[in-house]
Structure 1
Amino acid sequence: MSESPDYPRYPDKPESPASAGPVAAPARPGTIEGAFWAFVASTVLGLVGGILLFVNRDALVDTLRNADRQRGGTLTGAQIDQAATITLVVSVVIVVLIAALYLLFAFKLRAGRNWARIVLTVLTALHVISLLTAQDTILGYLAALAAVVGVVLSFTGPSNAYIAASRSR
């Protein structure tokens, strides 16, 4: 008697489709590849922006000096320089950590993980909101644009089908 799709599948029965071995990974669509590379571009732009903080060190020192003067001018020049250095180092460490996590999520999206797509969408939304509430550099705007492109690509029809197929594996 041949087995029809309505009958239960028994893994230990040799002719059962369930015993055929692991299911092949679905083909990754171009939209997922495009989303992945858009998130990588966004990450690179963010890293470059973080590194460029060092170029703007003098502007940071001037800002700290002006803020100190408005509060009464209690800090010495060495203290202001030290505060600027600490601020820059902490900022770069944070940028690198965020970039590493962003890349991890991009690779997980590429592997078909829906949770990574959701996390990247939330992070992109927060990035765009931060652009609306604060000034940023042109690199910040370009990074946000690349991330938005990545989110849009990750929610297209082929991307949805790929993630659904990856989930069922």
Structure 2
Amino acid sequence: MSEYPSYPASSDPSPSGAAAQARPSTIEGAFWAFIASTVISLLGGILVFGNRDALADATRTSSQQSGSSLTEAQIDQLVTIGIVVALVIAVVIALLYLLFAFKLRAGRNWARIVLTVITALQLLSVLVGQSTWAGYVSVLAAVVGVVLSFMAPSNAYINASKTIRS
């Protein structure tokens, strides 16, 4: 007698006996569009942070206009802290965005909704404020991802994934 429990053999390893549905190309396209949006945003942010002199000049001008007298060392320290804080925030947001993209790829409807809300906020930010070329391209990729995630094959995949999980 074996020490391992004996389970009946099953030719269908999917949960609840339902056949697993293949991931449609619209979900794959949405996933890669969100990945591209994230990468473009990070690259655009790195390019902006690479212009340290312009940030220092803006800080210096702001300091003079407000009447405070910051030394060059203080301005340099403020710019460094600002870059580090912004970079940490950007990386955390990018990691969350990637998590949502992977959850969308796994067929989670809540991830699709979260990505849609984030994309709407991103689009609003680009329309209302000033943006760089990276901001425009990033939001365009995210909008493509949202559109693809709501197409009929994507809806069927998410509904099938929901049925398989329950």
TM-score w.r.t. the length of structure 2 is: 0.87
Q: CA shift at 1:105, angstroms? A: 0.3
**Runs of 4+ with deviation above 6 angstroms:** none
* Inter-partner Cα distance in structure 2 for 1:24 and 1:81: 60
| Higher helix content, 1 or 2 | 2
Cα distance, 1:118–1:21 mapped onto 2, change above 3 Å: closer
* Inter-partner Cα distance in structure 2 for 1:22 and 1:88: 52
Gaps of 5+ in 1: 1-19
CA contact (8 A) 1:36 1:110 kept: yes
Q: CA shift at 1:72, angstroms? A: 1.2
Name 1:152's counterpart in structure 2. 147
Q: How many pairs align? A: 150
- RMSD of aligned residue pairs (Cα, Å): 1.2
One-letter amino acid of the structure 1 residue matched with residue 52 of structure 2: R
Name 2:129's counterpart in structure 1. 134
CA contact (8 A) 1:53 1:88 kept: no
* Identity fraction in percent: 66
Alignment deviations for residues 37-82 of structure 1 (CA, whole Å, 9 cap, x no partner): 0000000001111221331111111111110010114111111111
CA contact (8 A) 1:68 1:74 kept: yes
Alignment deviations for residues 18-37 of structure 1 (CA, whole Å, 9 cap, x no partner): xx954232111000000000
Indicate whether 1:37 and 2:32 are aligned.
Answer: yes
Name 1:75's counterpart in structure 2. 70
Larger radius of gyration: 1
